[in-house]
């Protein structure tokens, strides 16, 4: 391995010297296990060759003004919208497959700084060669292209080692500075900083800043050291080796000593400084004196070439040996169960949060620290807190109660699939075809035999609900059966939650959820068939004025009041946001956070979380008879120009559960599709008005694009 590293070190220029051969890794949520139960990490996604990257050696990440994320590799560049990846290599017009940096100019063109010095740019869905790329490449032949910037007059500024200057729009070269041996030169161009260097760092004797020259000496042992530039809080800095220096008018000042060799300096939206190291992780600083505590163990020993925070708040961290890591939310924490047993239930009250797995092992979670508490006999069935904050746990053999000091007491010698307290402190239970009522000490008040078996139980101020795979039964506190709509007898009901004095939410597997009025038993349904984005509701919990819903497509959040009035607006949290699985079996309100539980772990989410806006719609192109056409040129089409193709994208890195619908006339019905293209073949003559809308919840629809056009009738002789 060392020989391979040395070969790369000698054969590549400064930026490439840090490469270690990467291995393809699947796109997964990684878990970090420990013997005592749980360990915690910030959730992340990993992008490598298996996910579509052309190489695991990634030098740069950039988000353009449209919203696309770009990756620069040693085998081309890639553009990503959150769902699909577009790869551009030499056959697509890229001047050089090895791209070190992206530079976006004032016109929105994305330029590619390459290893050879030849450059190209992306505009209008195509890669274009720079007309004077060969001229620039000749200047680079003795060194490499260290800096690139395109100013407001289309001049291409460069720093190549011995040369520093620009090429104007006519191809004329203007050399602003000639860099001598063992010199380092910096120059401001508009608001940008470029540099040039000749000679190894440990031999640099002179430094020039905008023409002012002075003596310097760097105490760096390596002859090849990458220089990173930074403009931060109205000051300019650069790194050499493990140090960061401030640029003054005619001097430099050392301001920071890092862990090891620095290979990237970047800022996030909160103006924090991210420092990437060679084979030694990444750090974040609010100032040079104040380091932030990051929970990102997966970045250990990585060479971090770029940290980019996108417009939705997610962090992209590119590496030289292992692709790109995406951290959607630094405020989320994932914990994974280190055993083969699945999580059965999680309960939280005050500062006590209990995690119980199927084998009835009980863990206590407090202040992000988890410890093993107790192993009860056989299998866990259900658990709850009573009115005095005691924890009740039912196994398939017995019922146990834990007091505030977690001391255990056996209450009864039989188990129940459903146990819940009422507002008077009594405990209701269901077992097989029986309905039980106990006092707070577990003594039987009564037992009632019923017609069918229902494993689950919910108690509201008015009624007792028994439910499960075979529908719903409702009883009043006198044990009398209450008639409910027949529809609920055929549903597979998963959860029932009280939303207020006389309204409950009924969640189902397959039919979404219902808002049910306990006074007249009227209801409203929300499912993937209309007004919602999911069909399965596994869990629900209330946090303040908000209702959190766990589905097969992640978490939906809405205000309870809006749901009661029939006008809910949903925010969504998916695996792309940082939950460990889109299927959320349980939701628990614990302190000021929400725990989203899956089978083998859970994600801790701030109660105050809000999503970062809507997806950005991007109209990629409109094709008429397979020819690219501008939208303004298709208003009047001939009879034979009747094959229309419309391609579009939704740029969103946290949620691609997007519904789309379209039509060719306001009189037509909407056509629903998951594709990102529309094809209309052999359109007849007439006038058309194309409309495209999208939605995240299948309820509220947003206009994406609309335009009118006509197809002329055939010529009549």
Q: Round to whole Å and give the CA distance between 382 and 443.
A: 18
For residue range 256-296, list pLDDT tens digits in order.
Answer: 999 999 999 999 999 999 999 999 999 999 999 999 999 89
pLDDT of residue 201: 80
- pTM for the full predicted model: 0.88
Least confident of 247-251, 269-273, 450-454, 540-544: 450-454
Per-residue pLDDT, averaged over 172-178, amounts to 83
Whether the CB-CB separation of 655 and 577 falls below 8 Å is answered with: yes
Q: Please give the radius of gyration of the chain, using alpha carbons only, rounded to the nearest integer.
A: 31
pLDDT of residue 37: 42
| Most confident option among 198-207, 266-275, 366-375 | 266-275
Percent helix, strand and coil across the chain, each rounded to 5?
Answer: 5, 50, 45
Query: Burial code of 533-550, b = ≥16 C-beta within 10 A, e = fewer?
Result: bbbbbbbbbbbeebbbbb
Question: Which is it for the CA torsion 438, 443, 449, 454, positive or negative?
Answer: positive
- Beta strand extents in 53-145 (DSSP E only): 58-63, 69-73, 76-80, 85-88, 99-104, 110-114, 120-123, 126-129
**Tokens describing residue 187:** 């120059």
- Beta strand extents in 270-423 (DSSP E only): 273-277, 282-287, 290-291, 304-309, 315-319, 324-327, 333-336, 343-349, 352-357, 361-366, 369-375, 380-385, 391-395, 399-402, 408-412, 418-421
pLDDT of residue 20: 28
For residue range 477-532, list pLDDT tens digits in order.
Answer: 988 999 999 999 999 999 999 998 899 999 999 999 999 999 999 999 999 988 99
CA angle 466, 468, 474 (to 5 degrees): 25
Provide the CB-side half-sphere exposure for 360 (13 A, CA). 19
For residue range 31-59, list pLDDT tens digits in order.
Answer: 322 233 445 789 999 999 999 999 999 99
What residues contact 192, with CB distance under 8 A and at least 6 apart?
149, 151, 157
Phi, psi dihedral angles at 378 (to 5 degrees): 60, -135
């Amino acid at each position: 391995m060392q020989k391979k590293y040395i070969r790369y070190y000698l054969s590549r220029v400064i930026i490439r010297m840090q490469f270690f051969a990467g291995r393809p890794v699947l796109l997964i949520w990684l878990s970090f296990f420990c013997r005592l139960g749980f360990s915690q990490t910030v959730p992340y996604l990993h992008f490598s060759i298996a996910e579509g990257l052309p190489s695991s050696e990634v030098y740069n990440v950039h988000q353009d003004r449209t919203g696309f994320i770009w990756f620069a590799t040693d085998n081309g560049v890639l553009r990503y919208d959150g769902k699909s990846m577009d790869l551009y290599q030499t056959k697509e017009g890229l001047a050089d497959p090895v791209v070190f940096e992206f530079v976006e100019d004032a016109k929105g063109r994305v330029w590619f700084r390459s290893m050879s010095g030849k450059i190209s740019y992306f505009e209008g869905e195509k890669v274009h060669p720079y007309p004077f790329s060969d001229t620039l490449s000749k200047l680079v032949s003795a060194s490499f292209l260290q800096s690139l910037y395109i100013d407001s007059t289309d001049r291409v500024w460069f720093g190549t080692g011995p040369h520093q200057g620009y090429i104007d729009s006519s191809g004329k070269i203007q050399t602003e500075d000639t860099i001598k041996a063992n010199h380092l030169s910096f120059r401001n161009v508009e608001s940008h900083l470029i540099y040039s260097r000749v000679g190894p760092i440990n031999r640099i004797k002179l430094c020039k800043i905008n023409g002012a020259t002075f003596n310097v000496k760097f105490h760096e042992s390596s002859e090849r050291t990458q220089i990173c530039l930074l403009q931060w809080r109205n000051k300019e800095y650069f790194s050499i080796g493990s140090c960061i220096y401030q640029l003054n008018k005619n001097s430099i000042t050392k301001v920071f000593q890092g862990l090891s060799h620095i290979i990237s300096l970047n800022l996030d939206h909160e103006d924090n400084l991210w420092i990437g190291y060679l084979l030694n992780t990444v750090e974040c600083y609010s100032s040079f004196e104040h380091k932030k505590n990051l929970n990102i163990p997966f970045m250990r020993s990585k060479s971090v070439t770029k940290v980019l925070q996108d417009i939705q708040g997610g962090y992209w961290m590119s590496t030289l040996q292992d692709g790109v890591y995406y951290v959607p939310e630094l405020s989320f924490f994932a914990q994974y169960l280190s055993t083969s047993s699945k999580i059965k239930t999680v309960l939280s009250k005050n500062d006590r949060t209990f995690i119980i797995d199927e084998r009835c092992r009980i863990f206590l979670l407090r202040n992000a620290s988890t410890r093993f508490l107790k192993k009860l006999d056989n299998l866990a069935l259900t658990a709850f807190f009573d009115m005095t904050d005691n924890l009740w746990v039912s196994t398939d053999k017995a019922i146990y109660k834990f007091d505030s000091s977690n001391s255990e007491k056996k209450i009864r010698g039989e188990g129940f699939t459903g146990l819940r307290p009422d507002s008077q402190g009594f405990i209701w239970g269901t077992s097989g075809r029986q309905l039980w009522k106990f006092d707070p000490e577990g003594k039987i008040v009564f037992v009632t035999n019923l017609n069918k078996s229902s494993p689950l139980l919910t108690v509201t101020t008015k009624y007792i609900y028994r439910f499960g795979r075979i529908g719903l039964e409702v009883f009043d506190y006198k044990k009398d059966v209450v008639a409910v709509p027949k529809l609920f007898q055929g549903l597979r009901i998963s959860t029932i939650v009280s939303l207020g004095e006389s309204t409950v939410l009924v969640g189902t597997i397959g039919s979404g959820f219902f808002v049910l009025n306990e006074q007249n038993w009227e209801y409203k349904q929300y499912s993937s068939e209309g007004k919602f984005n999911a069909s399965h509701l596994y869990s629900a919990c209330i946090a303040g004025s908000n209702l959190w819903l766990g589905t097969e497509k992640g978490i939906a959040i809405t205000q309870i009041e809006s749901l009661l009035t029939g006008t809910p607006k949903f925010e969504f949290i998916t695996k792309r946001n940082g939950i460990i699985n889109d299927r959320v079996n349980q939701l628990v309100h614990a302190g000021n956070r929400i725990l989203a539980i899956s089978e083998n772990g859970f994600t801790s989410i701030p109660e105050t979380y809000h999503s970062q806006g809507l997806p950005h719609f991007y109209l990629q192109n409109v094709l008429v008879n397979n020819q690219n056409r501008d939208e303004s040129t298709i208003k009047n089409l001939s009879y034979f120009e009747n094959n229309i193709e419309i391609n579009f994208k939704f740029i969103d890195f946290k949620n691609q559960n997007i519904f789309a619908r379209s039509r060719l006339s306001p009189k037509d019905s909407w056509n629903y599709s998951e594709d990102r293209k529309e094809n209309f073949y052999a359109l007849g003559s007439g006038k058309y008005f194309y409309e495209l809308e999208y939605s995240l919840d299948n309820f509220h629809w947003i206009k994406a694009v609309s335009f009118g056009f006509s197809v002329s009738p055939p010529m009549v002789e």
